[in-house]
Structure 1
């Protein structure tokens, strides 16, 4: 698909809940403290109290950087979703916007991500490819479970997003879909 040089229109995401950050940080801190408190019985070239915090810090840095990579944008006639390690580009024409809607996943549990097939998930955060409770395939970028923008694709797959203002994104997509594209 031909990409235009038009500037991207960004749509901010709903804020990530504190529980997602704490889920990453607290276990790492516990492991480091546990390593420091373990008695050292034998001399090794690199003691565990030195090596373990280094590797945990390295792992945590990678996970935190991935968690920070979240973006929803419209570039030309494409919806672009960057979700941690994953990026999904979908032509607006491939979306079935007549069936798109804003849902609360507590009420519409059939759309809750159930099985992570290739994604990144923490409590309160889902990014990447999932199977939903209704067994449909979906690409998700969820930072909250209420006011989720459900975008069906014409191939039967779904996109679930948590923009801060889902109605604004949906209106913009519908406006672009309705616009006649000159050839």
Structure 2
């Protein structure tokens, strides 16, 4: 539950292509592989195995879609809290180098694009968790697009890359905190 001093900043909506890709990867692909194994087998599959596979696919789908929905940016008690899919990152505002923070397009500032996923969750159009950027710096990301990304350097050399609906409002609130 949010404290009375907490302020939430809405995350930019997911791009329309994310949902069909998530469904393709979690329902269509596993079912196609299962069907190929079942119908390509010389033995008749057990009905229980088919039901267990179907249940597994449905649970996987529910988990993936639930994680796509877990996106939150909150400023509370001098702490920036970012919930992104399976991950939550808490950073004291004092640990951020706000003088060098910027709002940029990752299409133009390609050095800040997430490259290697070290412990993250990603689909085309959605990236959450821990990544190495193209400039090799560490970053925690909650990205729903490449445009208007709030790039927050931390004093330890790592970055927070966020996609709030209104990045300037979040940056102003961080500076005011």
1:134–1:22 Cα change, 3 Å? same
Higher mean displacement: 31-40 or 7-16: 31-40
Note if 1:26 corresponds to 2:31: no
Note if 1:71 corresponds to 2:99: no
CA deviation profile, 1:21-47 (whole Å, cap 9, x unmatched): 111202322442564575364244445
Normalised by the size of structure 1, how large is the TM-score?
Answer: 0.87
Structure 2 residues without counterparts, runs of 5 or longer? none
- Selected match of 1:14 from 8, 12, 15: 12
- Cα distance between partner residues in 2 of 1:105 and 1:63: 25
Pairs within 5 Å for 1:32-181 = 32=31, 35-36=34-35, 39=39, 41-176=42-177
Structure 1 residues without counterparts, runs of 5 or longer? 177-183
**In the alignment, is the contact (CA less than 8 A) between 1:35 and 1:48 conserved in 2?**
no
Displacement after TM superposition at 1:58 (Å): 1.0
- Cα distance between partner residues in 2 of 1:77 and 1:17: 31
- Cα distance between partner residues in 1 of 2:107 and 2:91: 27
Normalised by the size of structure 2, how large is the TM-score?
Answer: 0.90
1:171–1:56 Cα change, 3 Å? same
**In the alignment, is the contact (CA less than 8 A) between 1:101 and 1:151 conserved in 2?**
yes
- Cα distance between partner residues in 1 of 2:88 and 2:127: 14
1:34–1:153 Cα change, 3 Å? closer
- SS of the residue corresponding to residue 88 of structure 2 reads strand
- Cα distance between partner residues in 1 of 2:159 and 2:33: 43
Displacement after TM superposition at 1:49 (Å): 3.6
Displacement after TM superposition at 1:119 (Å): 0.7
- Cα distance between partner residues in 1 of 2:30 and 2:176: 51
